[in-house]
C-alpha cells in the first residue's frame, strides 16, 4: 500500500521546482493534493500531470501571505477531499542584496512570503486539527516547513532570506512542542536543489549533468518530504533535516556551550578575558555561506 494513501496534502509554491516534485511525489504515494501556486497556469500543469497518472489533485492560487486567503486554501482542501492531513510550506522568493543595499521592500517581501506565509496557512490548518482533536477524533497531522542552510549558518548577500529561514527553524521547534497534544507533528528541512530560486546564483554548479546521478534534482528531496507527511513519521517531530542529492542529515541546533560562572556579578573589565576563554573552549561554528 502507498504510504500516503488517501491523505490530503496542501503543497504551497507547487507550480515548479521543489513544490512540483513534492506534489508529484505525494500523488504517487496515494495522496490527494492541493497544488497551490500564485502562477495558476503552472499549478494547472502539475494537476494535469497528476491526473494523467491516475492521481487526484486540485488547483489553488490563493495568496499565502494573506491571512484570509490562506483560510480559503484550507477550506478548499476540506471541501474537495473531505479532510486535511498535511501542510507543506514550500513557497519562497529571493531578494538578494548586501545588507547596506537592502531596501525595506526587499526585507518585507521576503518576510511576507517565507515567515508570514508559513504562519498564515499553518494557523488555519492547526485550528481545524485542534477542533478535530477536541471533538474526540484521532488526529495524525503534519506541518512540514522549509528552512535553509542560509537560515542555519547565514549567507552573504541574503540577510533578509537568512533571517526569515532562521525564524522558520525556530518556529518549527515551538510548533512541535505546542501542537503534539493535538496529534500534530512539525518538522523542517533545508533542501539543496535546482529551482528557479537557485538558478541565478548556483546555475553552473547545479546544472543537470549529461549522464549519471542528477545530484541537484528536486526529485531527490521529495521522498523525505513525502515520508514526513505520512503516518509512518508519527514519532518524529521538532527536527530539521538537511537534504541534497542522496544525503540526509539531521541538523544540530543551538544549544548551551561552555560556561563560566563567577558566582557573583562580573566587572566590565573582567569580561574580555572570560569571553576569550569561552571562545577557546567552544566548538567552532560553521562558516557563513560565501565567506
Core vs surface per residue 7-22: b (16+ CB within 10 A) or e = bbbbbbbbbbbbbbbb
Q: Is-contact 64 34, C-beta < 8 A?
A: no
Q: Which helix (H) or strand (E) holds 105?
A: helix 104-110
Q: How far apart are CA 219 and CA 237, in angstroms?
A: 23
- Cell representation of residue 161: 532570506
**C-alpha distances in Å from residue 173, one per residue of 139, 170, 237:** 20, 5, 8
Active-site residue, 148 included:
yes
In sequence order, the 6+-apart residues with CB closer than 8 A to the CB of 83 are: 8, 77
In sequence order, the 6+-apart residues with CB closer than 8 A to the CB of 62 are: 36, 69, 70, 72, 73, 76
How distant is the alpha carbon of residue 240 from its chain centre? 9
Pinpoint the alpha helices (H) of 111-158: 117-134, 149-153
Q: How far apart are CA 95 and CA 90, in angstroms?
A: 17
Find the catalytic residue in 70, 147, 148, 155. 148
Find the catalytic residue in 20, 32, 116, 165. 165
Q: Which helix (H) or strand (E) holds 243?
A: strand 240-244
Find the catalytic residue in 20, 70, 116, 161. 161
- Report, as residue numbers or ranges, the catalytic residues: 148, 161, 165
Amino acid at each position: 500500500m502507498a504510504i500516503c494513501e488517501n491523505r490530503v496534502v496542501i503543497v504551497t509554491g507547487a507550480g515548479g521546482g521543489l513544490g512540483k516534485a513534492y506534489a508529484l511525489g505525494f500523488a504517487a504515494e496515494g495522496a490527494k493534493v492541493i497544488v497551490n501556486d500564485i502562477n495558476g497556469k503552472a499549478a494547472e500543469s502539475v494537476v494535469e500531470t497528476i491526473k494523467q497518472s491516475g492521481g487526484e489533485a486540485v488547483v489553488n492560487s490563493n495568496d499565502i501571505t494573506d491571512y484570509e486567503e490562506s483560510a480559503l486554501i484550507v477550506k478548499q482542501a476540506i471541501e474537495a477531499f473531505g479532510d486535511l492531513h498535511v501542510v507543506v510550506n514550500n513557497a519562497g522568493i529571493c531578494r538578494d542584496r548586501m545588507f547596506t543595499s537592502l531596501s525595506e521592500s526587499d526585507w518585507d517581501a521576503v518576510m511576507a512570503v517565507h515567515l508570514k506565509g508559513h504562519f498564515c496557512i499553518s494557523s488555519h490548518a492547526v485550528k481545524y486539527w485542534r477542533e478535530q482533536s477536541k471533538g474526540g477524533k484521532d488526529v495524525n497531522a503534519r506541518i512540514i516547513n522549509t528552512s535553509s542552510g542560509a537560515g542555519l549558518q547565514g549567507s552573504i548577500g541574503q540577510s533578509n532570506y537568512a533571517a526569515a529561514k532562521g525564524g522558520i527553524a525556530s518556529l518549527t521547534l515551538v510548533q512541535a512542542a505546542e501542537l503534539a497534544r493535538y496529534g500534530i507533528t512539525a518538522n523542517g528541512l533545508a533542501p539543496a536543489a535546482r529551482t528557479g530560486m537557485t538558478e541565478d546564483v548556483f546555475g553552473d554548479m547545479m546544472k543537470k549533468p549529461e549522464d549519471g546521478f542528477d545530484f541537484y534534482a528536486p526529485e531527490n528531496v521529495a521522498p523525505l518530504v513525502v515520508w514526513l507527511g505520512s503516518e509512518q513519521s508519527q514519532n518524529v517531530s521538532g527536527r530539521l533535516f538537511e537534504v541534497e542529492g542522496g544525503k540526509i542529515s539531521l541538523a544540530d541546533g543551538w544549544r548551551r556551550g561552555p560556561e563560566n560562572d563567577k558566582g557573583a556579578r562580573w566587572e566590565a573589565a573582567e569580561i574580555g578575558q572570560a569571553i576569550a576563554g569561552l571562545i577557546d573552549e567552544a566548538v567552532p561554528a560553521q562558516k557563513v555561506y560565501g565567506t
